[in-house]
Chain A
Amino acid sequence: MAGFDLRQIDRRVIFTLIFVVVAWPLLRPMRLPMDVTPPVQRLYEAVEAVPPGSIVMLAGDYSPDTMPELQPMVISFVRHAFRRDLKIVTTSLWANSPPLIEDALAPLAAEFGKTYGVDFVNLGYMAGGTVTLLGMGASIPNTFPQDYYGTPVAGLPLMREVTNFDDIALVMNVSSGTPGTREWVQQVQGRYRVRLASGTTAVAAPPFYPYVQSGQLVGLLGGLKGAAEYEMLVDAPGDAVRGMDAQSIVHALIVFFILLGNVAYFAERRAQRARGGAAQREVTA
């Protein structure tokens, strides 16, 4: 190709195309159809199976960088739990998480008329990772003596109903790294037989499939797709559903780039072989 060399595409062209295909569907949604996958359906059914008035735990172990994927999961879970009249206790093994959880809890609590300390409590962050998880197995109030705002948990009506994991009907762990779902499975589910569900980034989800098959996770939300499916199940389409159009087109574009890169690669190899053959013929002559 004399005029245009596929190998020499400027990366700025690729970056610009990515920007356009992300921005365009966000501005002009296409509403592509979407089915619900079994791990998400199972998670939804697990929450549905919890009797009203029970206490569920939302363990948020993530940071702002993964918010676009994980925050919709937190919002949908809180909405689902409040709608079913479940009480929520939130914890975090990551210092960054509590304000993000609070950001999801506060507007939904107002929407459903829930009272802090009675219907939900944000216990905030506690250092220690797996040690903290083991401590919670013995006593949650001892491990988190104060809530996110520094209020002693002994003064919160909801926390008088909580001693340890025996009082928690279901734990939903939303995590993007370590400590996260793996530690919850290994230290809490394995030891205290807690019903555990998980929501993770798409890139972190594949290692957790064995836990779903073994029943150690009652359900799994993998990445934005999982979040979007859950939003559809709780009948409250939000940021995740909106983001799926953009993700669809970006994935298609990346596949296109891969194919284009391989076309260039094979064209180059063929040209090299042709050059090598010509040189060989010259030497022989």
Chain B
Amino acid sequence: MRREIPLAITFLAGMFMLVDFFVPHHRVSAAGEELKQWGTIVIAASILLGIGNLIRVHSKKIARRQSGWGFSLVCLSVMAVMLWFGMWPGAKLGPNPLVGSIAQGSYFNWMYLNMDVPLQGTMFSLLAFFIASAAYRAFRLRSPEASLLLISAIVVMLGRVPLGQLLTKGLPEKATLPWLTEAIMTYPNMAAFRGILMGAALGVMAMGLRIILGIERSYLGGEK
């Protein structure tokens, strides 16, 4: 029964959402809307589970003094600080007194914009350094396919910036880097991605049917 009940719920919910898509009756739509709200609630509840799991994993790491436990301590401390200021009871904005100040100028907002934003921006900007280093070490003309990729990459990289426009300014339009870039993006790129999209869509439909019909059960955990 531990597996049959979740499978039955999945089947009924999945079939009902299919019916909701094709049957425009108001009662079906109303029930479908209700079900979607349940979905939102379940997903929101999973965020709480995620927070609980994060606390559990990092608390264990700190208690056992495992390698990198200092980072876990920082992670939990920062989370506690942000939660505290986000739910600061003294500065209410909404009707609920527990809703803290998240408006512009609040401590929470200040920390978010001046700490979280630059930190995440810094992490992402490191990519520029690694891409440059990787381009130097790994992007090689080893085969005809690699050569094609490399030439396309160079054209698009230069054609997507004003410098490319400047470099080929005097040439006929169809020889300019921006035109070649647009042609690469509009024809080979689009053809490839259209194929990928269609393949992925078919895969999603097949997987959805497998889940609804109970053939695919890996989401239940354990069983193949």
Contacts and interface: CB of A to CB of B under 8 A. Distances in A.
Interface stretch (B3-11, B62-70, B108-116, B214-222): B108-116
A99 B189 contact: no
A210 B129 contact: no
Interface stretch (A48-56, A64-72, A77-85, A274-282): A64-72
Interface string A136-147: 001100110010
Nearest to B128: A18
- Give the most central of B104, B123, B131, B161: most A CB within 10 Å: B161
A257 B185 CA distance: 23
A143 B150 CA distance: 47
Given A206-B185, A252-B158, A255-B158, A32 B163 contact: yes
Contacts of A209: 185-186, 189-190, 193
A268 to B, nearest CB: 10
Interface string A239-251: 0000011011111
A158 interface: no
A244 to B, nearest CB: 6
Nearest to A131: B39
A206 B109 CA distance: 34
B121 A257 contact: no
B43 A99 contact: no
Interface string B54-98: 000000000000000000000000000000000000000111100
Contacts of A37: 178, 182
B129 A207 contact: no
B20 to A, nearest CB: 9
B117 A210 contact: no
B160 A202 contact: yes
Interface in A219-236: 223, 225
Interface in B117-168: 117-121, 123-125, 128-129, 131-133, 135-141, 150, 153-154, 157-158, 160-166
- Give the most central of A37, A100, A128, A152: most B CB within 10 Å: A128
Contacts of A65: 120-121, 123-124
B115 to A, nearest CB: 10
B211 interface: no
- Give the most central of B47, B119, B164: most A CB within 10 Å: B164
B119 to A, nearest CB: 8
B196 interface: yes
A272 interface: no
B160 A251 contact: yes
Contact of A18 (B43, B132, B161, B190): B132
Contacts of B120: 63-65
A266 B33 CA distance: 63
B210 interface: no
A135 B36 contact: yes
Interface residues of A, number: 70
B121 to A, nearest CB: 6
A149 B94 contact: yes
A22 B127 CA distance: 13
A41 to B, nearest CB: 12
Interface string B172-210: 000000100010011001100110110000000000000
- Give the most central of B95, B109, B135: most A CB within 10 Å: B135
Nearest to B29: A138
Contact of A258 (B102, B113, B125, B135): B135
Contacts of B44: 127-128
Contact of A247 (B118, B154, B161): B161
What are the nearest 9 A-B pairs in CB distance? A150-B94, A32-B162, A248-B163, A65-B124, A128-B40, A131-B39, A257-B136, A248-B161, A64-B117
25 contacts: A15-B132, A38-B182, A64-B119, A99-B112, A103-B113, A128-B36, A128-B40, A135-B33, A135-B37, A135-B40, A138-B29, A149-B94, A150-B95, A152-B95, A206-B193, A207-B193, A207-B197, A225-B161, A252-B161, A254-B135, A258-B136, A258-B153, A258-B154, A261-B137, A262-B140
Given A146-B94, A254-B157, 14 more contacts: A18-B129, A22-B128, A32-B166, A33-B162, A63-B120, A99-B113, A135-B36, A135-B37, A138-B36, A143-B40, A150-B96, A210-B197, A250-B132, A262-B139
Interface of B: 21, 29, 32-33, 36-37, 39-40, 43-44, 47, 93-96, 99, 102-104, 109, 112-113, 116-121, 123-125, 128-129, 131-133, 135-141, 150, 153-154, 157-158, 160-166, 178, 182, 185-186, 189-190, 193-194, 196-197
